[in-house]
């Protein structure tokens, strides 16, 4: 997207990081070991391997610090780092307001990535983003998916 067409630009972490306590890691580990033992007692080795790999991946992801992404909204669309999303390929948007900060949710219409979740920096006026996007996309309330609700509950 050419820089002379930029309406708004900011940087923000890709997600809100919440530090996990050692107790959280112990709980995940204990649950994974118990479920693995039970699956081995039922001779389900594949499920035991799946549980151990899943628990390891979950713990690695929980310890990972978020990357800082660059977000740009311009007359032709939205850009996240080097990835462009033209307005013609986007269906709608919604801004969720949280105590910790606002999130711009854009319906992309893609099968693998149907919604873009864009954290809005505290120094960017959310109302300016909304007004600009209203000129290019319809505003439609988007509910959080069940998986997003579960992830939020567990601190992701």
pLDDT digits (tens, 9 = 90+) for 99-141: 777 889 999 878 777 888 899 888 888 888 999 999 999 999 8
Average pLDDT value for residue range 56-82: 91
Residue 108 near residue 114, CB atoms below 8 Å: yes
pTM: 0.72
Residue 117 near residue 103, CB atoms below 8 Å: yes
Task: State phi, psi for 141 to the nearest 5 degrees.
Answer: -60, 130
Task: State phi, psi for 87 to the nearest 5 degrees.
Answer: -60, -30
Q: Does 34 or 1 have the greater pLDDT score?
A: 34
Q: How far is CA 95 from CA 58, 117, 134, in A?
A: 28, 10, 12
Q: What is the mean pLDDT of the chain?
A: 87
% pLDDT > 70, the chain: 95
Nearest to 93 by CA among 63, 137, 52, 136: 137
Residue 106 near residue 95, CB atoms below 8 Å: no
Q: Does 82 or 5 have the greater pLDDT score?
A: 82
> Which range among 14-23, 81-90, 128-137 shows the weakest confidence by mean pLDDT?
14-23
Average pLDDT value for residue range 37-59: 96
Q: Does 148 or 126 have the greater pLDDT score?
A: 126
State residue 43's pLDDT score. Answer: 96
DSSP state of 44: -
What DSSP string describes 131-152?
A: HHHHTTS-B---PPPHHHHHHH
H-type helices in 42-96, by residue range? 45-63
State residue 24's pLDDT score. Answer: 92
State residue 3's pLDDT score. Answer: 41
DSSP state of 15: S
**What residue spans define the domains of the chain?**
3-13+66-142, 22-63
């Amino acid at each position: 997207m050419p820089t002379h067409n930029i309406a708004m630009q900011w940087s923000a972490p890709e997600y809100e990081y919440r530090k996990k306590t050692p107790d959280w890691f112990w709980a995940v580990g204990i649950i994974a070991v118990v479920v693995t033992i039970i699956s081995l007692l039922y001779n389900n080795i594949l499920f035991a391997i799946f549980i151990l790999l899943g628990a390891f991946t979950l713990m690695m992801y929980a310890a990972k610090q978020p990357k800082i992404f660059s977000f740009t909204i311009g007359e032709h669309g939205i850009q996240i780092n080097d990835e462009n999303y033209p307005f013609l390929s986007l269906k709608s948007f919604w801004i969720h307001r949280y105590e910790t900060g606002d999130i711009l949710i854009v319906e992309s219409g893609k099968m693998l990535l149907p919604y873009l979740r864009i954290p809005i920096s505290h120094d960017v006026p959310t109302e300016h983003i909304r007004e600009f996007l209203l000129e290019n996309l319809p505003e439609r309330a988007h509910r959080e998916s069940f998986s997003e609700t579960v992830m939020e509950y567990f601190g992701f």
